Amino acid sequence: MIQQVKEQWRQLISEQLVLLAKEKSIDENELLKAGPLSVQIPPKPEMGDLAFPLFPFAKVFRSSPAQIVSMLKERLVGVCGVSESSILPAGPYLNIRLDVSSLARDVYTRVSNEKDSYGHTSYLKGKRIMVEFSCPNTNKPLHLGHLRNDAIGESVSAILKANGAEVQKVNLINNRGVHICKSMLAYQKFSDGETPESAGIKGDHLVGKYYVRFAQWEKEDPSATEQAQQMLKKWENGDEEVLSLWNRMNGWTIDGVEQTYKKTGVSFDAYYYESDTYMLGKDNILKGLENGVFYKEEDGSVWIDLSEINLDKKVVLRKDGTSLYLTQDIGTAIQRHEKWPFDSLIYVVASEQSYHFKVLFYVLEKLGYEWAKDLHHLSYGMVNLPDGKMKSREGTVVDADDLFDSLTSLAKQEIIGKAREDIVGDVDKVSASIALGALNYYLLQTTTTKDMIFNPDDSISFSGNTGPYLQYMGARISSMLKKWDEMKHDFDGIEFDPAVLDLQEERELIKQIALFPSLVLEGAKEYNPSVITSYLYDLSRLFSRYYHDHAVLKAQSSVLIKARVTLVEMVLQVLKNAYALVGIPFLESM
C-alpha cells in the first residue's frame, strides 16, 4: 500500500520534470539519460515521509538541485493542487509529507476486511512452486544446522503462499549410501543387539551413536571404510541380511526425526526417498552415456565434461556401478516433475553444496529437461557455535532435541520465576511456544546467505532483538484489548476518526502497517525471511515507545480512545500475520 503511494508521487514528480524540461526547450532524451527518479526515506521523520533526490538532473537543467526543487514545488502546488504543507524542500531533495490520515483510513479498511490475509499479494498467483528442505540422513538425529534449514524452508514456503503461489513442501530422506552403511556396520560390530526400547533413547539418537562409533573405529582399523563400501554393494545387490538391518535402523531414525518435526512445527506435503529414486538416476545416466552426454573412463566410471560451465569434470557413476548423491538427485528431480509438474523448484541447502547444484542443474539441462532452468538453489550460510564448528562424525553437534528442550526449560524458569503460572495457563505448552519463537526468530533474523553464530542464551532472552520479546509485545497488546472488551460498549456509535491520530509516533505506526504488504512481496522475490523478522522488530520497538509514552484507554477524549484502540488492533493483526510467516507462535499471555 505504501509502495503504491510512493509510485504515485514518483510518477507525478516525473511528469512535472518532463513538462518543466519542455518549458525550457530541453530535449526529453537528455532527461532520460539522467535516469529514472528515485525515491528514498528521509533520515528523520520531521523531514517528511518520502525524499526525491534531484542531483542527477542538475546538469540537464543547468541549475542546482535546490533550484529544481523550488521550481517543482511551484508547479506541484500551483498546477497540480498539492497542498503547500505536503512539500518540504530539503536542499537538493524534494521531500513529501504524506496525508497519513487518508492512508490510515485506507489501511483500516484493508486490515478490517482482510484480517489474517492482510499483507498477502497475488504476485505468484497461478504458480506451482516446490520447496525442498530438511533432507535428513538416516544415520543420525537432526542437529542445529537442520533447524536453520527447516526454519528457512517453512518460512519461505509460508511467504510464497502469502504471495499467491501453490506450494508443495517436500522432504528427501537420505536413506542410502556409504554413510548409512557406516552406522549399520558399527551397529553390527558393537551394539550387542540393543534397541531404542532397551537403551531408553529415541531411535535417531541410537543410530547416531553408532555413526560416531564408526568414526572412532575407522581411526583404529584402516579397512573400516572399505568394509562400509562393500556393505553398500551388498545393499544395491539386494542382500537380504543387509536390507533387513537397513529397514530396521531406517525405521528407528525416521520415527525419531518425525517426533522432532512435530515438536518444532515442521511438516511436509510429500516425502521422497533416495532408495526409490537412485535407480531412475542411473537409468538416465546410462541413456545419456549412449547419447554422448557422458563418457566412460578406462576404469569403468562414468563422467561428464563441465568445461562449458567453466568447471573441470564430474563422476556420475563409480567404477563399481554404485551411485553418488548426484546420481540420485537426478532421479529425484525427474520423478518430482513427473508427479507434480512445477513452475519452479527451490532447494534449501547449505552454501557448501553450491558446486553440487550447479552441476546437477547443468546435467539435467544436458539430458534435455527444459524445466531444469526453473531449478533454484536457495543457499544459506553455516550455523556455528560461539566456540567453533559442529562435526557430526565427532559427536560435537548441537542436537536439535536437546537444544529445544533446553530453550523450553529456560522459558519455563522465566515464567515460574515471575510467578506467572496462573496468567499463562498451560505452562508447558506456553514454554514450548516461547522456545519455538526464540529458535525460529534467531535462526531467521540473519540473511540466509550469511554464516551465523547461534547463542542459545541470547536467543531466549525476553528483552532485545529476540523472538520472546516479539511474543511479549503481542501478549501485551492482547492484555490491553481484554480491558477494552470490558469497556467498549461505552463507545458504541463512535466511528474511527484517523484525523485525530496526529502524533509523530502514530504517523510512523500507520506507515509501518501500510508498508507490510510490500515487504511480504520483497520476501518472496528474494526468498528472504529476514525481511519479515527485521520488520517485526522495527514495528514492535516503535509500538513499545508509543505505548510507553501515550495513554490509549485513558486518552483525552472518547474519539481519541476509539482511534488509538483501532490503531493498536491493527498493529496486533499485522504482528500476528508476520509471526505466521516466520514461525513465531502467537501468545495471548506469557
pLDDT at 320 over 90: no
% of the chain at pLDDT higher than 90: 84
**Residue of 392, 369, 589 whose CA lies nearest to 361:** 369
Q: Which of 76-80, 138-142, 257-261, 521-525 has the lowest mean pLDDT?
A: 76-80
- Whose cell is 512481496? That residue is 521
Look at 79-93, 356-370, 533-547 and tell me which has the smallest mean pLDDT: 79-93
Mean pLDDT, the chain, rounded, equals 94
413-416: list long-range contacts, CB under 8 Å, 24+ apart. 414/460, 414/462, 415/590
Q: Which amino acid is at 374?
A: D
Mean pLDDT (whole number) for 70-78? 91
Under the banding of pLDDT at 50, 70 and 90, the label for residue 31 is confident
Domain 2-98 has CATH 3.30.1360.70: yes
Which pLDDT value is given to residue 390? 47
Decide the pairing of beta strands 50-53 and 93-96.
antiparallel
Residue 466 above 80 pLDDT? yes
pLDDT average, residue stretch 124-138: 97
Please say whether the beta carbons of 545 and 588 come within 8 A: no
Higher pLDDT, 332 or 5: 332
pLDDT digits (tens, 9 = 90+) for 199-209: 999 999 999 99
DSSP secondary structure string for all residues of 70-130: HHHHHHHHHTS---GGGEEEETTEEEE---HHHHHHHHHHHHHHHGGGTT---TTTT-EEE
DSSP three-state, residue 215: helix
Its pTM stands at 0.90
More confidently predicted of 62 and 2: 62
What is the number of other CB atoms lying within 10 angstroms of the CB of residue 518? 18
Chain length of the chain:
590
Q: Averaged over 495-511, what is the pLDDT? A: 95
472-493 pLDDT, tens digit each: 999 999 999 999 999 999 999 9
* Residue 585: strand, helix, or coil: coil
Measured CA to CA, the distance from residue 255 to residue 205 in angstroms comes to 11
| Predicted pLDDT of residue 392 | 47
Q: Are 123 and 524 in contact (CB under 8 A)?
A: yes
Beta bridge partners of 305: 313
Q: Where are the domains of the chain?
A: 2-98, 133-384, 400-581
Element (H, E) at 314: strand 313-317
Helices (H) and strands (E) in the chain — how many of each?
22, 13
- Distance, in Å, from the CA atom of 30 to the CA atom of 21, rounded to the nearest integer, reads 9
Confidence of residue 306 (pLDDT cuts 50, 70, 90): very high
CB 45 within 8 Å of CB 96: no
Q: Tell me, what's the pLDDT at 389?
A: 52
Q: Is 519 in contact with 449 (CB distance < 8 Å)?
A: no
DSSP 8-state class, residue 223: T
CATH code of 400-581, in short, is 1.10.730.10
Q: Which residue has the higher pLDDT, 571 or 420?
A: 571
CATH topology for 133-384 is Rossmann fold (3.40.50)
C-alpha 213/C-alpha 185 separation (Å) is 10
Chain segment 287-298, per-residue pLDDT in tens: 999 999 999 999
**What pLDDT score was predicted for residue 214?**
96
Q: Which of 72-86, 96-110, 227-241, 436-450 has the lowest mean pLDDT?
A: 72-86
pLDDT at 79 over 80: no
The pLDDT of residue 396 is 58
Pairing relationship of beta strands 375-380 and 344-350 according to DSSP bridges = parallel
pLDDT in tens, 385-422: 776 554 544 555 789 999 999 999 999 999 999 888 88
Q: Residue 557 above 70 pLDDT?
A: yes
Between CA 487 and CA 492 the distance in angstroms is 10
| pLDDT tens digits for range 182-223 | 999 999 999 999 999 999 999 999 999 999 999 999 999 999
Q: Where are the alpha helices (DSSP H) in 274-315?
A: 274-290
